[in-house]
Structure 1
């Protein structure tokens, strides 16, 4: 048997070959056995027990578990802690779905942007729709080394970037309505 040790917060869980003698059974409270108290947050480490899938015993302050039936958890999750875990799992799953949608969209956008001739228009579109999204960061990337940048970043330079953005969108609309150009004839997207 390959032995493993797991560490989770205040818990250390490790495999043993057999249970020692003289163990006292531990009964679940409200369907759970608490395996460790939380030192700070009150999020105690608990194991859901249904029927006899897992049995707990105690001896000399050490908790032992005998797993009779492997399980992935309690399907009737009721605690507030588990509610938050489930909510996070759902959010992470949704984010992964959105990422799967975005990758092909980014490829399409990159291909269309690469067809625009002016480099600053391409750069603005890449920043705005693929990388940065915040106008302040885009303005800074273009003009931060100008002598009057601090005074003019929210006026003259922002207006210039917005003008380029409008022009770039018009160019993007034009190239998007034209037939597709072979990749070897496209302008490179790298700036």
Structure 2
């Protein structure tokens, strides 16, 4: 227990003494240390805008404008060459780069749509090592099919478009479905023994 020193007439604890000061009007309730004082001050956002020069997980894609903490920008993005501060000059460059990215994306989609129409006639032939029973030692995966299919139709083809449940492990003809933006097509895969 805290005993007040000085007058000797009262033995107040520090809690009672502070309460008494407020009730007697000596200390205003709007002192800088009260919550009411801070309620009217806006919270300062100290984030900064950066342009991403490559894809950064959980932040954004290449040429996106991201708002990040200054420490993250300095210590991670700028140090690794993944980002750049937005200024008046870079803002114009950002607009040009995003426009360029959109044009490239639309061109890729157009090529992919054309390739998807050619897909019905596409035949992918693969030669693999087999055992005596005709089983492949290593199955043909979606990734291998996507690479060979890209060569056959003349466009970049991603493995995620190919709907193959498990790798092909038998020699012979196989019909494999592919889906792109709701459109479905099938192509033929011929696996031959070496």
Does the TM-score normalized on the shorter chain lie above 0.5? no
Higher share of residues assigned strand: 2
Which protein shows a greater Rg?
2
TM-score, length basis structure 1: 0.26
TM-score, length basis structure 2: 0.26
